[in-house]
Amino acid sequence: MSKNVVIIGSVALGPKVACRVKRLDPDANVVMLDQRDLISYGGCDIPYFVSGDVSSFDELRSTSFHVVRDPKFFKDCKGVNVFINTKAIGIDREKKLVIAEDLKTGAKKEFNYEKLVIGTGNRPRTLEVVGHELEGIYAISGLDKAIKIREEITNGHIEKAVVIGAGAIGLEMAEALSDMWGIETTVVEVMDQILPGIVSYDMAKMAQHHMEENGVKFYLSEKVLSFEGDTRVKKVITDKRELDADLVIVSIGVIPNSELAKGAGLEVSNFGGIIVNEFMQTSDPDIYAGGDCVAIKNLITQKLGYFPLGSLANRQGRVIGTNIAGGRAKFDGAVGSFVIKLFDIAVASSGLSLQRAKKEGLDAISVFVAQLDRAHFYPEKEVMFLELIVENGTGRVLGIHGLGKSKDAVMGRISSVAGLLKYNIHVSDISNFELPYSPPMSSAMDILNSVANVAENILEGRAQPIDLTTFVKLWKDREEGKVVFLDCREEQNARPYVDKYSKYWINIPQGELKTRISEVPRDKKVVLVCNTGVRSYESYLILHHKGFTNICTLLGGLASVKNLGIDI
């Protein structure tokens, strides 16, 4: 007898479940329901469709062999029956029925199930302020909205756009509007940094500076109060200014669509995610859930977390499909891994940021380094920036973050650690991490090893570093005469700074420091700097050995300062 499997939702999770079930159990009767008419597309790809990088929306829902994944495709190629424009409105767990409504006719339908899968995704948070109903204001909530935005842009009437929210989607949309279409684009964010809660303040400032160099304006720590216009938006009013706008994109986060599950009496977390076990079963073992509507374990904090990512939805879909077909596959949880392209750079992270670690009550430190991503003698190379978050005392690695122009190289370093974080690795595991080496692709002592080496030095008390934020504060206070900056580079590199700031910028190359140590003032705080932090650390050791105590070294060096957009 064939098994009845009903799947609610058919964007990412649902199709993966359906295809996996049919591969393992060809006799299963699999039905997918979706309230929209566009199904099985890459939601994370929407900004690239809006930008024009992806020319047609059909490309987002096509196979690698260019067949559109529509209901006919699923019926003919996968043996799965798909009902579009069909909204599930109730679940009768006792009778094992899904009650649905045909959104075109209003007719009610019932679907019997033995195993049910909820993949209802999420919905965007709304900004319920005066004027939010005006035309030209969009939240990214599906491919249909993306098509409307693209149509508005290609009509040629959009000159100024405001993006509200500086999370990943907001930044991707800002790049899409500014880079490909030449639209004057402004981003408004209520927090004091972009990518809040994902990367550190300093790395966020570096990414922001790069976007500003490419024409995007930012207003941080600013709250939107209202929208103005007749029938269409013309202005965005914040607590600090008025911004002209022909188009507004609201990207302030998402909420799990768990009302259907909650109405059926299934267990739901305090933030709205459907609670599932390691087998992706809900509190009813015959009902599975996955994707953007579920709460899953954060493998670092061991608490319930929310990870609305298409990559996780696909992996969870495979697990669910395996288990419905009789297997016992597990999905343990996630650490939270992320990568984004912003014009010419990539920003990537995995695990906790320093702010998030401290919010979780962890005693954590941040270690920031800048280093070439290839051998220093190889002609083609770029500076990469890595930040490692480590627990004080235990040396446990809590997170890693990266930024650089060699996008695949940045993602490769972060990915290397992402797969290990759930095993509670020690910083020494990264310090001795084995990586392939070839001068065109890496350096003998890789930046990944280097950031862990620096972390070990700090944890063991062999270094007294300062971060970029502290450096900026010390630089602003330089006129008080309490601090001096010791440039450890060669004379030709340091000369412009010495000439401009002779009162508080001195130059002693690291190789000459031992013989010129009498030139280092003992009555002031000495900030050691070089290009990336290597020579300044060597100089720190020399001075520390000679009894200097009021000294510190800048993590990431002047290369990091430059990428913050600070002109010294």
pLDDT digits (tens, 9 = 90+) for 522-536: 999 999 999 999 999
Q: What is the pLDDT of residue 1?
A: 57
Contact 231, 135 (CB under 8 A): yes
Sequence-distant (6+) residues with CB within 8 A of 105 are: none
Which CATH number is correct for 137-168+188-252, 3.50.50.60, 3.90.1150.10, 3.40.50.280, 2.120.10.30? 3.50.50.60
Please check whether the domain covering 465-564 is classified as CATH 3.30.470.20. Answer: no
d(CA 280, CA 288): 6
Handedness of CA 147, 151, 152, 156 (dihedral sign): positive
CA-closest candidate to residue 416, choices 398, 430, 431: 430
Spell out the domain ranges in the chain. Answer: 4-41+52-121+255-324, 137-168+188-252, 337-459, 465-564
From first to last of the 568 residues of the chain, give the pLDDT tens digit. Answer: 579 999 999 999 999 999 999 999 999 999 999 999 988 887 777 888 888 788 787 788 888 888 889 999 999 999 999 999 999 999 999 999 999 999 999 999 999 999 999 999 999 999 999 999 999 999 987 788 888 889 999 888 899 999 999 999 999 999 999 988 899 999 999 999 999 999 999 999 999 999 999 999 999 999 999 999 999 999 999 999 999 999 999 999 999 999 999 999 999 999 999 999 999 999 999 999 999 999 999 999 999 999 999 999 999 999 999 999 999 999 999 999 999 999 999 999 999 999 999 999 999 999 999 999 998 899 999 999 999 999 999 999 999 999 999 999 999 999 999 999 999 999 999 999 999 999 999 999 999 999 999 999 999 988 889 999 899 999 988 888 899 999 999 999 999 999 999 999 999 999 999 999 999 999 999 999 999 999 999 999 999 999 999 999 998 999 999 988 887 7
Q: Evaluate whether 137-168+188-252 and 337-459 have a shared fold.
A: yes
Supply the CATH classification number for the domain 4-41+52-121+255-324.
Answer: 3.50.50.60
Residue 530 is encoded by which pair of tokens?
């070089």
Alpha helices in 25-73 (DSSP H): 46-51, 71-73
314-353 pLDDT per residue, tens: 999 999 999 999 999 999 999 999 999 999 999 999 999 9
Supply the CATH classification number for the domain 337-459.
Answer: 3.50.50.60
